[in-house]
Homo-oligomer: A and B are copies of this chain.
Amino acid sequence: MAELTDLLKANQSFYDAFNERNVAKMEKLWSEKAPVACIHPGWAPMFERSQILDSWTKILRNPKAPIVLCRQPQASVYGVGGFVICYEQVGQVYLVATNVYTLEDGQWRMVHHHAGPTPGGPGTAAEPPIQLQ
């Protein structure tokens, strides 16, 4: 259970780094040893750590960047891997995020972030408006 708690703390620090515009904290969170990936909403996937961190630097330094609040995070742990699914509240709009982490030297470090649209926020039933797949 301590691992779940620590994983949720790491996930919250990701959103804290974002909202504090703290590039150093964001860099520290991302794994240095494992392969990483990132899919921002509306972006193609990225797989290079330097490219991913450059993207975060640009986003965090953009004065139009919004505040993104982590809502209803749900953490799952399997060995040295873990992921958190959470809603991202941006004003009155919600996105949904998959954040994947690995334990690196005893710390949960991010290996993948994928955020995109979702039909509703916390409490939305998992029934689709239409079957897309």
Contact = CB atoms under 8 A, between A and B. Distances in A.
Contacts of A81: 78-82, 100, 102
B100 A133 contact: no
A128 B43 contact: yes
A35 B111 contact: no
Interface string A24-47: 000000010011110111111111
Interface residue tally on A, bucketed by range: 35 or more
A124 interface: yes
Which residue, of A40, A62, A126, has the highest number of chain B Cβ atoms within 10 A?
A: A126
Contacts of A129: 42
Interface in A95-133: 96, 98, 100, 102, 111-112, 114-120, 124-133
21 contacts: A34-B76, A35-B76, A36-B76, A39-B118, A42-B117, A43-B127, A44-B118, A44-B120, A44-B124, A45-B96, A47-B74, A59-B131, A62-B131, A76-B111, A78-B81, A78-B111, A80-B81, A81-B102, A98-B112, A98-B114, A114-B114
